[in-house]
Amino acid sequence: MDTQAEALEQSFLGWQCRLRQIAMRRGEGRPSDGMQPRILLKEDGLKEDGRYSTTITVLINRQSAESDASRFRYLVQKTHDPADRFANGLKFLSATHYQRPHEFSDELTALFQPGGLLVRALLAKRLCTLAFSQFSAAYTLPCTVRQLADDTPAYQATYWHNRLFNSRMPEDVIILGFKPDWNKASSTI
């Protein structure tokens, strides 16, 4: 990766950490627009305006996600009260979790229900573009897509993070990883 691409990656991760700090500290953990990119799938032969587009909520995970997965699992299993889980998760994530952007992996993750049209399209194409925008910043990230195995740290961290905030989350889920091609990514700040 060249220097410009590396700088773009670090800028994006820093921006994502700031957005998440704001969401945890001032927004009661609700995902903001910048955490919910439009997902673009350009079909062969269609013009630019013929793309399928929807938004998804993505997570950023630390490069060593094992300890976060364990912490999230502990917070979920510690109590049966969804309000306590939510409060404990918010307290943990609003403290120092997003203080060091360089500790985070650039592979974004998202949770889906199996069998949906979008997840099937993403797994078939294995490519998409994530378009992020909030405040005066926008990032366009062409990504490769992969399904994470349920025993990987990023899968576990994503699963248990989502369980903290959604007590009615189904057991049967698919978690996809989105790995940006930083040499083809762009931003406007």
Instruction: Name 168's Cβ contacts closer than 8 Å, sequence gap at least 6.
Output: none
Domain that holds residue 100: 3-43+51-188
pLDDT mean over 56-62: 96
CA–CA gap between residue 176 and residue 87 (Å, rounded): 27
Q: What is the pTM of this model?
A: 0.92
pLDDT tens readout for residues 71-122: 999 999 999 999 999 999 999 999 889 999 999 999 999 999 998 899 999 9
Residue 48 has pLDDT above 80, yes or no: no
Read off the CATH number of the domain in which 78 is found. Answer: 2.30.110.10
Q: How many domains does the chain have?
A: 1
pLDDT tens readout for residues 145-172: 999 999 999 999 999 999 999 988 988 9
pLDDT mean over 26-48: 79
Strands 174-180 and 137-147 come out as antiparallel
Identify each DSSP E strand in the chain by its residue range: 38-41, 52-55, 108-112, 127-134, 137-147, 174-180, 186-188
Q: What is the pLDDT of residue 51?
A: 56
